[in-house]
């Protein structure tokens, strides 16, 4: 009796992703790569529900219609769209993109093989698999603080944070939505050894971002952190697809 042959791996035409938006070339607006030319893959779905979320159309199906806001696309179609754009950097965001990590990995592998640089933006609650880590240049990890309104047990997942820190490819970017967020950030940094830390103001209007940057500059310097603007908001306001 012979062992049954293993089923062939599904092709990139068969594996699908839930996609909210594909857009670019545009400018990465946040964190260490701010200002760099990039394309964005925004995936649908999130495991959190932050009160100040600026992309609720990726997950809040009580307010938005998934039939309008989300498409199921083959990995190959997403890959072809990206490779048809003249950009070195690919930012994969959400929602929470690591919800789909098993289906995201073949896309990341194909992009890395094509010489693209990949950043994944994640809320830090899901540990990525090794096969995905190998393909990624950086994880922009954005754990949510109390100002998000999400209970701490859902938004801070120690094992996932430690796994992301352990990749050696993570930066930790915190949206400051309330003054008390700064003290919580300092506690989390000490507890989990998070570094480097970037702080960023909340805001989807240029005036709010500028005001937030001014308020955060001195505390950021005092704590030894880095400060991120929201360049896309300063340039384009709250336009989608920017």
Hey, is 209 helix, strand or coil? helix
Contact between 66 and 42 under an 8 Å Cβ cutoff? The reply is no
Torsions phi, psi of 170, nearest 5? -105, 140
Q: Is 140 in the site for ligand SF4 (CB under 6 A)?
A: no
* Residue among 33, 55, 105, 140 that touches ligand SF4 (CB under 6 A): 55
Footprint on residues 4-23 left by ligand SF4 (CB under 6 A)? none
> Is 185 one of the annotated binding-site residues?
no
Nearer to ligand SF4, 96 or 106 (CB): 96
C-alpha 156/C-alpha 202 separation (Å) is 19
48 or 83: CB nearest ligand SF4: 48
Calculate the CA dihedral of residues 133, 134, 138, 140 and round it to 10 degrees. Answer: -10
Question: Is the CB of residue 205 less than 8 Å from the CB of residue 222?
Answer: no
First to last CA, the chain: 59
Q: How far are the Cα atoms of 41, 53, 76, 158, 220 from residue 175, in angstroms, in the given order?
A: 21, 10, 33, 19, 12
Peptide bond connecting 25 to the previous residue in cis, omega within 30 degrees of 0: yes
123 belongs to the binding site for ligand SF4 (CB under 6 A) = yes
Site string for ligand SF4, 142-181 (x = CB under 6 A): --x-------------------------------------
Q: With contacts defined by CB under 6 A, how many residues of the chain interact with ligand SF4?
A: 12
Q: Please state the closest distance from residue 77 (CB atom) to ligand SF4, in A.
A: 23
Given a contact cutoff of 8 angstroms between Cβ atoms, the answer to whether 202 and 229 are in contact is no
Q: Which of 28-36, 92-100, 211-219, 228-236 is the region at the interface with ligand SF4 (rule: CB under 6 A)?
A: 92-100
Options 46, 98, 104, 110; binder of ligand SF4; rule CB under 6 A: 46
94 binds ligand SF4 (CB under 6 A): yes
Question: Looking at 31-39, 78-86, 91-99, 185-193, which segment touches ligand SF4 (CB under 6 A)?
Answer: 91-99
Q: Measured from the CB atom, is 79 or 104 closer to ligand SF4?
A: 104
Q: Which residues sit at the interface with ligand SF4, rule CB under 6 A? A: 46, 48-50, 53, 55, 58, 94-96, 123, 144
């Amino acid at each position: 009796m012979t062992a049954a042959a293993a089923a062939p791996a599904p092709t990139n035409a068969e594996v699908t992703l839930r996609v909210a938006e594909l857009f670019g070339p545009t400018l990465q607006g946040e964190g260490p790569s701010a200002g760099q030319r990039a394309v964005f893959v925004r995936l649908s779905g999130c495991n959190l529900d932050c009160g100040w979320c600026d992309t609720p159309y990726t997950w809040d199906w009580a307010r938005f219609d998934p039939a309008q806001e989300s498409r199921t696309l083959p990995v190959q179609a997403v890959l072809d769209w990206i490779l048809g754009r003249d950009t070195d950097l690919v930012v994969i965001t959400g929602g929470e993109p690591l919800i789909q990590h098993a289906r995201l990995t073949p896309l990341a592998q194909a992009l890395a093989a094509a010489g693209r640089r990949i950043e994944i933006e994640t809320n830090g609650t899901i540990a990525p698999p090794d096969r995905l880590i190998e393909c990624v240049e950086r994880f922009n990890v954005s754990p949510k603080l109390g100002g998000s309104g999400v209970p701490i047990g859902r938004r801070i997942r120690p094992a996932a944070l430690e796994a992301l820190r352990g990749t050696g490819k993570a930066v930790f970017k915190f949206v400051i939505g309330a003054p008390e967020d700064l003290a919580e950030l300092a506690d989390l940094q000490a507890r989990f050894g998070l570094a480097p830390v970037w702080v960023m103001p909340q805001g989807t209007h240029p005036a709010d971002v500028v005001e937030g940057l001014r308020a955060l500059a001195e505390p950021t310097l005092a704590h030894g952190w880095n400060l991120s603007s929201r360049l896309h908001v300063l340039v384009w306001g709250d336009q989608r697809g920017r």
